[in-house]
Amino acid sequence: MNDISFDRARCHVLGLGCERGTPAAEVLALAIEALDAAGIAGAELAAVASIESRREEAAILAVAAHFSVPAVFFDAPRLEEETPRLKNPSEIVFISVGCHGVAESAALAALGADAELVLGKIKSAHATAAIAGIGLQKT
């Protein structure tokens, strides 16, 4: 687990992936679309998560700042460990970055073994987003 502070109110992580130099407006619009699709408010986010190679990516940092949450990053081998839990694994992503998914994997990795995908990967022209949650009630 990371240094993510979560509770009953903040029990979701937004996973993001993007091409280098993707405009912040595009990634933020995708993040808002993901939250809307999942029926989750920004206030329910505990963090934004991505792959280590995007640690300095302005668009991802801008989304984290927009929602006033930390940005956390994982290396490709750690993200690859999440492959069995992915809804949308990709061989193309594996060839490119060394793991079968960034957005879904990062969201799951940020919350640990008890996390579940609430929203599988969605895409914009240059970015991906997914949402994981923890402590979710089964209905």
CA distances 8 to 13, 70, 107, 122, 135, Å, are 13, 17, 17, 25, 8
pLDDT tier, 2 (very low <50, low <70, confident <90, very high otherwise): low
Which residues are bridge partners to 111 per DSSP? Answer: none
Q: What is the pLDDT of residues 64-122, one digit of tens each?
A: 999 999 999 999 999 999 999 999 999 999 899 989 999 999 999 999 999 999 999 99
Pairing of strands 127-133, 116-123: antiparallel
Distance CA 4, CA 86 (A): 21
pTM for the model stands at 0.92
CA 86 vs. chain centroid, Å, equals 12
pLDDT tier, 138 (very low <50, low <70, confident <90, very high otherwise): very low
